[in-house]
Amino acid sequence: MILGSKKPSAEFLAKYGKDNELPPNFREITEKEFAQSKFFIYSPDFWEYRQISKREDCEKFKWGKEQGSYIFSLRMAYFFDGTGIALEHDYWAGTVRYFSFAICDHEKREQRNVGNCLNEYTCVACGYKETVDSSG
């Protein structure tokens, strides 16, 4: 279920998966990584509620073993640059786990100065461009 003003296109679904699939580059992150993520800097473009039910995905992230069930729910926040944060909770244990996902990890970037403190970063892998004002 998608929540927000933007509705997913067929292109989006091809990139991020659908229904009960994990999105690309899905990995668990620490509480510190979550606290320092885009989640607290930018507003998500939209939210999605997704239940993961593929047994091999659940086993990879150690979901469902104690409960005897292989369905886990994610609350997923999608950001403008093709990245996202997902939250999963265990009501009975009172715990939350944090995950990130992305169409591209944007790890290798080229930097170009376009003004005083204005820098443009381009992802070498996918071509995504982001301009950052580093003046403070």
Domain boundaries, the chain: 2-102, 105-136
Average pLDDT rounded to a whole number, residues 8-17: 78
- How far apart CA 43 and CA 57 sit, in angstroms, is 28
* Cβ pair 108, 123 in contact under 8 A: yes
pLDDT confidence bin for 66, thresholds 50/70/90: low
When the pLDDT of each residue in the chain is averaged and rounded to a whole number, the result is 82
Residue 40 has pLDDT above 60, yes or no: yes
Residue 127: both structure tokens together: 């071509």
Residue 1 has pLDDT above 60, yes or no: no
Buried b (16+ CB within 10 A) or exposed e, 32-48: eebeebbbeeeebebeb
Residue (of 6, 79, 3) closest to 41 by Cα position: 79
Residue 29 has pLDDT above 80, yes or no: yes
- How far apart CA 86 and CA 100 sit, in angstroms, is 6
Residue 54 has pLDDT above 80, yes or no: no
- Give the range with max mean pLDDT: 8-12, 50-54, 65-69, 113-117: 113-117
